[in-house]
């Protein structure tokens, strides 16, 4: 046995694991041996009674990390929507609607990332903090700048986070400020291509842990030519795609007015709805839009906290899942003022409950809400882990052979942490306490591909 938690490649971990392979299925893997191969993938999951257990214990004797009493392992969190440059604004600027917020606060902040020293310090802090918070995979919007987008990818490669990084395309002079927009559709596409090449050819990214993403900001900030060319590029390069979709009344209305159709239909027309597309927010999806996303295999990044501030609505999460739409969770830093995916799970449960029950006490109870909207904590946890991995088509979020060993050790005994178990022994109750109570101080180790990337 060992207590070295540093590098678990070609090693094993023995302890209790929680994961949710399906939306309703919490699995507690008590007293289980998980074997990690030399490349950081899970080679075996052997609970007590597994016929291979004895042989594996013998094979990994001296190379097995035994988790201390009171510690539990979860899959790493998958944050499907982060605006990396907005991190300095986290917890600020939440007083205006989206269309004002962008021009008054957000574009001026993002424009500063033309300065690579400014960018390096803030991006380095963000990636460190997200890893320490248990976010092992992040789908990032960078800024409009080519160099700073490349720098964000470099920092993720260096710090060991699994990341998908997109240079933001935004070229419409009618919607984007002077000094912070792509000079033309050709420039937007050329810089997008350059960032894709940079990430794919990076000498320290041979295993593709960091991936490029085609990232039109949202329809209102792009010309038709840019949207069309980026759709063609998605078909050509097979990259992931991300954008914002039907977020607020204003954004949704802009697209209806411009094209006479919804965001989802318009994005599909541009070739931007692929199996590797993630649409942020998507609050005003129609049932036809949901069917369209399900048919294309495109996913939604549900940003429950941000939606409270900017969306004029609660995303109909359960309806979307029931229609077959892939969904994961996002913090939407800084539209959502929290950098914790544990918080995203909590807010997902809370806002779905508010949609179910309704919120206006002046209305009669029976007319206040939308029945069939609530989701469980297990569902939220599933979406934050396996669901996010499925939306990205990456083998992450489950403890199963072939999946990457991206994981978090939660130490429930830390005085400085937020969890108090007292005499609880029921593992399902402990799981709930962990999800609701865990703070950064409880996360004793975070691994990506079996390599420790943060330790608390």
- Sketch the per residue contact string, 64 through 93, with ligand GUN: x for CB under 6 A, - otherwise: -------------------x----------
- Sketch the per residue contact string, 278 through 307, with Fe ion: x for CB under 5 A, - otherwise: --x---------------------------
H/E stretch holding 322 reads helix 317-322
Q: Is 449 in the site for Fe ion (CB under 5 A)?
A: no
Residue 89 CB contacts under 8 Å (≥ 6 apart), including other chains? 105, 106, 109, 334
Nearer CB in complex with Fe ion: 140/381:
140
Residue among 201, 199, 218, 298 at smallest CA distance from 258: 218
CB 384, CB 376: distance < 8 Å: no
Residue 102 CB contacts under 8 Å (≥ 6 apart), including other chains? none
Q: Is 284 in the site for ligand GUN (CB under 6 A)?
A: no
- Sketch the per residue contact string, 301 through 320, with ligand GUN: x for CB under 6 A, - otherwise: -----x---x----------
CB 161, CB 138: distance < 8 Å: yes
Q: Is 247 in the site for ligand GUN (CB under 6 A)?
A: yes
- Residue 179 CA to residue 320 CA, distance in Å, equals 39
Q: Is 182 in the site for Fe ion (CB under 5 A)?
A: no
> Which window, 98-106, 122-130, 342-350, 391-399, contacts ligand GUN (CB under 6 A)?
98-106
* CB of 115 vs ligand GUN, minimal distance in Å: 19
Q: Please report where in the chains the tokens 């007319």 appear, as a residue.
A: 367
- Give, as one character, the DSSP assignment of residue 143: -
Q: Is 110 in the site for Fe ion (CB under 5 A)?
A: no
At residue 329, φ and ψ (nearest 5 deg) are -115, 150
Query: Which pair of tokens denotes residue 264?
Result: 């989802």
H/E stretch holding 233 reads helix 224-237
Sign of CA dihedral 95, 299, 108, 152: positive
Question: How far, in whole angstroms, is CA 317 from its chain's centroid?
Answer: 16
Q: Which does 98 bind (CB under 5 to 8 A by kind): Fe ion, ligand GUN, none?
A: ligand GUN
Q: Which does 218 bind (CB under 5 to 8 A by kind): Fe ion, ligand GUN, none?
A: ligand GUN
CB 252, CB 285: distance < 8 Å: no
Q: Is 167 in the site for ligand GUN (CB under 6 A)?
A: no
* CB of 130 vs ligand GUN, minimal distance in Å: 17
Beta-strand ranges (E) seen in 76-161 are: 77-83, 135-141
Q: Which does 217 bind (CB under 5 to 8 A by kind): Fe ion, ligand GUN, none?
A: ligand GUN
Q: Is 106 in the site for ligand GUN (CB under 6 A)?
A: yes
One residue of 332, 406, 411, 449 binding ligand GUN per CB under 6 A: 332
One residue of 123, 218, 342, 399 binding ligand GUN per CB under 6 A: 218
Nearer CB in complex with ligand GUN: 107/342:
107
One residue of 19, 167, 198, 244 binding ligand GUN per CB under 6 A: 244
At residue 286, φ and ψ (nearest 5 deg) are -85, 170
Instruction: Please report, as ranges, the residues that interact with ligand GUN according to CB under 6 A.
Output: 83, 98, 102, 106, 217-218, 244, 247, 306, 310, 332, 335
Instruction: Please report, as ranges, the residues that interact with Fe ion according to CB under 5 A.
Output: 280, 332
């Amino acid at each position: 046995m060992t207590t070295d938690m540093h590098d678990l490649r070609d090693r094993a971990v023995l302890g209790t694991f929680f994961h949710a392979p399906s939306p309703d299925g919490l699995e507690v893997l008590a007293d289980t041996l998980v074997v990690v191969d030399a490349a950081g993938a899970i080679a075996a999951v052997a609970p007590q009674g597994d016929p291979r257990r004895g042989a594996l214990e013998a094979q990994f004797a001296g190379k097995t990390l035994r988790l201390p009493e009171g510690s539990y392992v979860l899959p790493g969190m998958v944050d499907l929507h982060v605006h990396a440059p907005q991190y300095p604004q986290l917890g600020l600027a939440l007083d205006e609607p989206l269309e004002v917020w962008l021009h008054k606060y957000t574009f001026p902040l993002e424009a500063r990332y033309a300065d690579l020293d400014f960018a390096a310090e803030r991006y380095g802090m963000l990636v460190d903090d997200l890893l320490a918070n248990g976010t092992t995979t992040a789908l990032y919007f960078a800024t409009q700048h080519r160099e700073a987008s490349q720098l964000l990818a470099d920092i993720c490669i260096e710090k060991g986070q699994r990341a998908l990084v997109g240079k933001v395309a935004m070229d419409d002079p009618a919607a984007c400020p002077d000094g912070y927009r792509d000079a033309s559709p050709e420039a937007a596409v050329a810089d997008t291509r350059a960032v894709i090449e940079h990430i794919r050819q990076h000498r320290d990214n041979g295993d593709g842990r960091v991936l490029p993403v085609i990232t039109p900001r949202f329809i209102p900030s792009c010309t038709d030519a840019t949207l069309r060319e980026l759709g063609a590029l998605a078909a050509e390069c097979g990259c992931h795609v991300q954008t914002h979709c039907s977020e607020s009344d204003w954004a949704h209305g802009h697209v209806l007015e411009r094209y006479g159709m919804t965001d989802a239909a318009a994005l599909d027309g541009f070739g931007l709805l692929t199996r590797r597309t993630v649409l942020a927010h998507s609050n005003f999806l129609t049932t036809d839009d949901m069917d369209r996303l399900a048919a294309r295999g495109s996913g939604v990044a549900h940003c429950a906290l941000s939606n409270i501030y900017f969306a004029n609505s609660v995303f109909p999460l359960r309806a979307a899942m029931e229609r077959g739409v892939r969904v994961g969770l996002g913090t939407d830093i800084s539209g959502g003022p929290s950098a914790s995916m544990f918080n995203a799970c909590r807010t997902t449960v809370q806002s779905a409950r508010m949609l179910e029950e309704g919120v206006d006490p002046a209305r009669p109870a029976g007319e206040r809400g939308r029945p069939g909207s609530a989701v469980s904590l297990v569902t939220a946890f599933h979406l934050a882990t396996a669901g996010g991995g499925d939306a990205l088509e990456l083998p992450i979020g489950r403890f199963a052979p072939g999946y990457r060993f991206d994981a978090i050790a939660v130490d429930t005994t830390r005085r400085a942490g937020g969890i108090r178990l007292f005499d609880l022994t029921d593992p399902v109750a402990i799981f709930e306490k962990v999800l609701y109570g865990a703070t950064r101080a409880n996360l004793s180790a975070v691994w990506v591909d079996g390599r420790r990337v943060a330790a608390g």
